[in-house]
Amino acid sequence: MLIDILSLLVAAVVIVPIFQRLGLSSVLGYLAAGLIVGPYILAIVQNVEDVQHIGELGVVFLLFVIGLELKPQRLWNMRHQVFGMGLLQVVLTGIILSIVAYNFGINSRTSIVIGFGLALSSTAFVLQILTERGSLQTKEGRMSFGVLLFQDIAVVPLLLMVSAFAPQSGHVSKDVGLGLLLGVGALASVILVGRYAVKPILRHIAASGNHEVFTATAVLLVIGTGWLMDEVGLSMALGAFLAGVLLSGSEFRHQITADVEHFRGLLLGLFFMSVGMSIDITLLADDWLRIIVFVLVLLAIKILVIYPLARLFKASHATAIRSAFFLAQSGEFGFVLFALASKEHLLTNELHSLLLLAIVITMIVTPFLFNLALRLTQKRIDQTVPEKMHVENAPQIKGTVLIAGFGRFGEQIAKVLQAGGIPYIAVDNNPVTVQKAHDQSLPVYFGDVSRPNLLKLLGAKDSMLAVITLDQPLAVERAITALHTECPRVPIFARARDGQDSRRLHELGVETTIPETLESSLQLAATILFRLGIKQNDVIEIVDEFRDEDYRRMGDDNETEDKQ
């Protein structure tokens, strides 16, 4: 097993950065890594099931971290998306897919299992990509999350349904009643322990000053709640999410998030690689046409169900399109559901393999569906923005500074440039932001700076320099790539979160970066020294000394990496 994990880590370290450099999602990189080392290509790793079990903990940690960011009041505010749209999505999609399966000659019980198993979407893929793109707090992000949360809850009755449909189900009603009782008891236990016991325990451990024990406690909390839920037939991820919500108001929330974040990333990567390892190349080659048609029909049905539901719940056209495409794939709980159905002789081995391969393919196309949804809705947004606000109507950019992004950060830079008498032109892809800026007669135009053709239309190669103020890492990388492609001689300045992010941007070709954490910490330290009565000249000297040292160290690191 150790050799398997080592092989997967090596594959991930080599392949994932390549995909990111190409502007593709890291999820696709993990899938490719798993496919290459898996049993169907190099066959370095054979035991897919064990890797998948370990990787599933990544989904558990992911839901726990999301729960930490979601206070109970916000969860209550999402009740319409969770129990309204989520319920309707699972029921309607499940019924339609069941009817389709039945019309292909599959018996009624198996058709229902197939329909509802495929109705579930992938929590791991959707939330990872939303998080990666900084879209979890958008309208479509919250709507997608609400539906996914209900699907996690629905796993329990669906598993009980499979057991009830089994040919040898002798005591179904008794099992269902016992399962529901155990489930309610487990949920009540998590709530009570989380509310009244965990916080005092964390305070006691924090007071001891032992950081390693605190980290171990955080990991134990995640895995322990997941194990308890799993023992009573509930979703491990659901239990971890609930534990996270209960601790969302805790003073330890940020520390716990930092402690479990690395576990989440590593384990989730293993999960995605285990999915890549499950791709049966032989089956795909032998029956590729039927599988592709099956996948296309599945995606179309889910999109056509989710879009009107999103509109019913008062989503805009763009939000509904994005939500429908984001949730179009089938998910990891389908693996669990169909494995049980196969064990209970509801699915033949051939049908089971076909369903698993279809699920994996829908997962693989998920990042492309995200991009397609964004492009489709971007065109719609483009049409709603007045013509005068489009980039092609911007004045001559020669001799000006190009600002990519006009949020609070970009707006502040624009104000300083204006005060210094330096002309600028800003580009932002948020129509509301552009409209507000135009109302104030500011030179801000609608567009996406990650598109080289837009930069060419703007004449960006003639600008004095470009400033990237975007806060989403993937968007920043795409903007840098586009600027290097269209205007390679224009110096690029960019905001960075910290020293590590600053070094990463330097590797991508950014000339100058300003780490936010460094500057804000130095400003706060200076304010503290002023407050404590230190003379102004001394404060400036101290802060400048630390600033010079930090920037010199970052420069030395960059030079070392360049030589390597």
- β partners of residue 467: 403, 493
Distance CA 81, CA 220 (A): 31
Across 51-88, b (16+ Cβ under 10 Å) vs e yields bbebbbbbbbbbbbbbbbebeeeebeebeebbebbbeb
Highest mean pLDDT among 50-59, 402-411, 535-544: 402-411
The encoded tokens of residue 253 equal: 């929330």
Q: What is the pLDDT of residue 380?
A: 57
Residue that the structure tokens 């409209």 belong to = 435
What residues contact residue 410 under an 8 Å CB cut-off, 6+ apart?
403, 404, 426, 428, 467, 469
Q: What is the pLDDT of residue 144?
A: 92
Asked if pLDDT for residue 230 goes beyond 80, the answer is: no
Pick the residue with more confidence: 327 or 30?
327
Asked if pLDDT for residue 100 goes beyond 90, the answer is: yes
Q: What is the pLDDT of residue 421?
A: 85
Cα dihedral 516/520/521/527 (nearest 10): 170
Least confident of 133-137, 203-207, 367-371, 432-436: 133-137
Asked if pLDDT for residue 553 goes beyond 90, the answer is: no
DSSP label at residue 459: T
Q: What is the pLDDT of residue 169?
A: 52
DSSP label at residue 259: H
Distance of CA 293 to the CA centre of its chain: 28
Mind spelling out the 3-state secondary structure of 372-421? HHHHHHHHHHHHHCCHHHEHHHCCCCCCCEEEECCCHHHHHHHHHHHHCC
Distance CA 354, CA 290 (A): 10
What residues contact residue 557 under an 8 Å CB cut-off, 6+ apart?
499, 503
Asked if pLDDT for residue 383 goes beyond 60, the answer is: no
Q: What is the pLDDT of residue 384?
A: 53
Q: Average pLDDT, stretch 171-185?
A: 57
Least confident of 91-95, 235-239, 538-542: 235-239
Asked if pLDDT for residue 237 goes beyond 80, the answer is: no
DSSP states of 260-277: HHHHHHHHHHHHHHHHHH
Q: What is the pLDDT of residue 191?
A: 72
Q: What is the pLDDT of residue 172?
A: 46
Distance CA 19, CA 291 (A): 26
Q: What is the pLDDT of residue 177?
A: 56
Q: Is 561 exposed, middle or buried (0-12, 13-18, 19+ CB in 10 A)?
A: exposed
- β partners of residue 424: 401
Confidence of residue 560 (pLDDT cuts 50, 70, 90): very low
Confidence of residue 139 (pLDDT cuts 50, 70, 90): confident
Q: What is the pLDDT of residue 205?
A: 83
Asked if pLDDT for residue 537 goes beyond 80, the answer is: yes
The domain made up of 393-563 is a member of CATH 3.40.50.10490 = no
Asked if pLDDT for residue 171 goes beyond 70, the answer is: no
Q: List the helix and strand counts (H, then E) for the chain.
A: 27, 6
Instruction: Answer whether 0.75 is exceeded by the pTM.
Output: no
Give how far Cα 89 sits from Cα of 64, 81, 95, 478, Å. Answer: 24, 10, 10, 34
Distance CA 456, CA 462 (A): 10
Q: What is the pLDDT of residue 121?
A: 93
Q: Is 352 exposed, middle or buried (0-12, 13-18, 19+ CB in 10 A)?
A: middle
Least confident of 71-75, 87-91, 487-491: 71-75
Q: Is 317 exposed, middle or buried (0-12, 13-18, 19+ CB in 10 A)?
A: middle
Q: In this structure, what are the phi and psi dihedrals at residue 396, rounded to the nearest 5 degrees?
A: -60, 130
What does the mean pLDDT of the chain come to?
A: 81
Q: Average pLDDT, stretch 111-131?
A: 89
Q: Average pLDDT, stretch 307-313?
A: 94
Q: What is the pLDDT of residue 97?
A: 95
Q: What is the pLDDT of residue 468?
A: 92
What residues contact residue 359 under an 8 Å CB cut-off, 6+ apart?
118, 329, 330, 331, 334, 335
Mind spelling out the 3-state secondary structure of 211-257? HHHHHHHHHHHHHHHHHHHHHCCCCHHHHHHHHHHHCCCCCCHHHHH
State the CB neighbour count (10 A cutoff) for residue 530: 12
State the CB neighbour count (10 A cutoff) for residue 550: 17
Convert the pLDDT of each residue in 255-283 to its tens digit.
787 778 778 778 888 888 888 888 888 88
Q: Average pLDDT, stretch 448-476?
A: 82
- The fold for domain 2-380 equals Na+/H+ antiporter like fold (1.20.1530)
Antiparallel, parallel or unpaired: β 424-428 and 401-404: parallel
Q: Side by side, which strands form the sheet with 512-515? A: 444-446, 424-428, 401-404, 465-468, 492-496, 512-515
Q: What is the pLDDT of residue 306?
A: 95
Domain assignments of the chain as residue spans, ordered by start = 2-380, 393-563
Instruction: Give the CA diameter of the chain.
Output: 86
State the CB neighbour count (10 A cutoff) for residue 528: 11
What residues contact residue 35 under an 8 Å CB cut-off, 6+ apart?
41, 276, 277, 279
Highest mean pLDDT among 252-256, 314-318, 502-506: 314-318
Asked if pLDDT for residue 346 goes beyond 50, the answer is: yes
Pick the residue with more confidence: 288 or 228?
288
Asked if pLDDT for residue 545 goes beyond 60, the answer is: yes
Asked if pLDDT for residue 405 goes beyond 70, the answer is: yes
Asked if pLDDT for residue 239 goes beyond 80, the answer is: no
Q: Average pLDDT, stretch 545-554?
A: 73
Q: Average pLDDT, stretch 242-254?
A: 76
State the CB neighbour count (10 A cutoff) for residue 173: 9
State the CB neighbour count (10 A cutoff) for residue 339: 15
Least confident of 51-60, 115-124, 409-418: 51-60
Confidence of residue 507 (pLDDT cuts 50, 70, 90): confident
Distance of CA 512 to the CA centre of its chain: 28
Asked if pLDDT for residue 167 goes beyond 90, the answer is: no
Highest mean pLDDT among 148-157, 161-170, 245-254, 350-359: 350-359
Q: What is the pLDDT of residue 563?
A: 47
